[in-house]
Amino acid sequence: MTRFNQTLRDAQARLTVPEPARSRIMLELRADMEDLYQEYVGRGMQEDEAETAVAETFDLTDDVLRDLVQVHDTPLERSLESLSLHVQSPWSRLLMTGLALSVIVGSGTFLIRPEVYRVASPVVWAMLPLLVAGVWIAGGHAFRLFKAGRSWSPGLRTGLSRLLGLAVTVLVIAAGGLWIELYLSALRIREMPRETMIHFIGWLYTSSSTLVVFLSGALILAFLWFFLEARTRKLERLASSELLGGVS
């Protein structure tokens, strides 16, 4: 696209952030400018007038660019990009895919066994709606990626971070559930101190099943997020190479 090359070129020259945050910022700018341009044209403006209006609207001062850098170059983003770079080789992707499939199949087989829930703490039922919601979100995101093909749009990232948030929430609930069971066991031990070992072993038995259920759910959500994130970042890299090649 050559419509806003001059504005994008000026912004690129003043951005001090390294890759890939620079590419994400440039892609977001181009998408926002294109959306505003289409809106102006839809209102009846001539194309050259719409281009001028968009350029005037996007007054990319140093303060504006600095705010964009703070949004797109966070420690979390740098960590995720570093992780993504480590699994770009074919062997790394094959290893991660095999590991993910083994975890998902093994966890799925374990989670459908009724006896697990009879032994585990009742708090495990709070995890199942989160797992279903995560699978639903992942399915919707995978469908958007399938429809997008090799094209990129800012909407491809919508909701993706929720998967990671759900995985973390599952672990937090697991920790809370284990402490609740420990507290209940302590109350029973205080009432019957001679049966301390029985209640303690019972807590270990319940906690092990509870922890396996929660870790299985968290791993499934984490792997779904990881592969969708990797695909989204790949589309970002392809789009940024095309964009930066056009504005350089």
Confidence of residue 41 (pLDDT cuts 50, 70, 90): confident
pLDDT (tens digit, 9 = 90+) per residue, 79-126? 666 655 555 566 666 777 777 777 777 777 777 778 778 888 888 888
With tokens 């009724």, the residue in question is 114
What mean pLDDT do residues 58-84 have? 66
What is the pLDDT, as a whole number, of residue 1? 47
What is the pLDDT, as a whole number, of residue 92? 65
As to burial, measured by CB atoms within 10 angstroms (0-12 exposed, 13-18 middle, 19+ buried), residue 139 is exposed
Which of 106 and 204 is assigned the larger pLDDT? 204
What is the pLDDT, as a whole number, of residue 136? 92
Task: Say if CB 234 and CB 152 are below 8 A apart.
Answer: no
